[in-house]
Structure 1
Amino acid sequence: MRFHTRKWIKPQDLNPNGTLFGGRLLEWIDEEAALYAIIQLENPKTVTKFMSEIDFKSSAKQGDIVEIGLEVTKFGTASLTLKCEVRNKMTHETIISIEKIVMVSLDENGKAKPHGKTEIEYVKNRLES
């Protein structure tokens, strides 16, 4: 799994218990998955279709740095399926895991659009062509 983004837990990210608000973390995950899928599928009209069970394993507190990891598990005709893990950067303790996030590439009418991709492409490889 590759960890792409880090977030610093600030006061506005906390719930009444003084720990990271789960909704904020899910917002960050959804944004990270969307950005990753948009870049992979080369389509800015890519949306979240499905997110499987969310498993909160530990919490984070103000001042902690968390990192969001994504891994491609499947390329569909118009979709990209990802697995996600968020962990504490310093302790590497897992905070949350999501087994399946499905992102779908859309056309200009909002319908699923085949993307023709079958494997992960890295920006450095695209620039070499």
Structure 2
Amino acid sequence: MRFHTRKWIKPEDLNANETLFGGRLLEWIDEEAALYSIVQLENSKVVTKYMSEIDFQASAKQGDIIEIGVEVVAFGKASLTLSAEVRNMMTRETIITISNIVMVNIGPNGKPLPHGKIQVEYVKDRL
């Protein structure tokens, strides 16, 4: 798992229990999955189709730093399936895991568009 993004937990990220609000965390994961997919599929029109069971294992509190990791599970004809993990850099605990996030490549007509990709590509290899 490659961890690409770090977030600092601020007061506006907390729930009534003074811990990281799950909805905020899911927003960050969805954004990370979209950014990863856009780079992999070389198309800025990518949408989230599905997220599998979400397993909250721990939390974070104000001032903690978390990191978000994603990796490719599979390439579909017009989709990319990712897994995600978020961990607390302060406590080293895993906060959440998601086994499958399906992102769909979208064409100019708003319909799924085959992307022709079969393996992970790194930007440095495209240059």
The superposition leaves residues 77-129 of structure 1 with CA deviations (integer Å, 9 ceiling, x where unpaired) of: 000000000001133210000000000000011111000000000010011xx
Matching residue's letter, 1:32: E
Matches within 5 A, 1:76-91: 76-91=76-91
- Runs of 4 or more consecutive aligned structure 1 residues displaced over 2 Å after TM superposition: none
**Where does structure 2 lack aligned partners over 5 or more consecutive residues?**
none
- Structure-1 separation of matches of 2:35 and 2:71: 13
| Counterpart in the other structure of 1:99 | 99
Q: Secondary structure at the match of 1:7?
A: strand
User: What is aligned with 2:46?
Assistant: 46
In the alignment, structure 1 residue 110 sits paired with structure 2 residue 117: no
Letter in 1 for 2:74: K
Report the Cα distance in structure 2 between the residues aligned to 1:67 and 1:29, rounded to whole angstroms. Answer: 10
Query: Within 5 Å, which residues of 2 pair with 1:6-17?
Result: 6-17=6-17
| Deviations 1:49-103, CA, capped at 9 Å, x for gaps | 0000100000100000000010101000000000000001133210000000000
Counterpart in 2 of 1:59? Answer: 59
Partner of 1:122: 122
Q: How does 1:22-41 map to 2 (within 5 A)?
A: 22-41=22-41
- What is the aligned partner in structure 2 of residue 5 from structure 1? 5
Show the counterpart of 2:69: 69
**Equivalents in 2 of 1:22, 1:107: separation in Å?**
31
Q: 5+ residue gaps in structure 1?
A: none
| Superposition TM-score, scaled by structure 2 size | 0.99
Shift of 1:22: 0.2
Question: What is the rounded CA distance, in whole Å, between the counterparts of 1:89 and 1:5 in structure 2?
Answer: 12
The one-letter amino acid of 2:99's match is: E
Distance 1:73 1:89 in 2: 24
Q: How many residues align?
A: 127
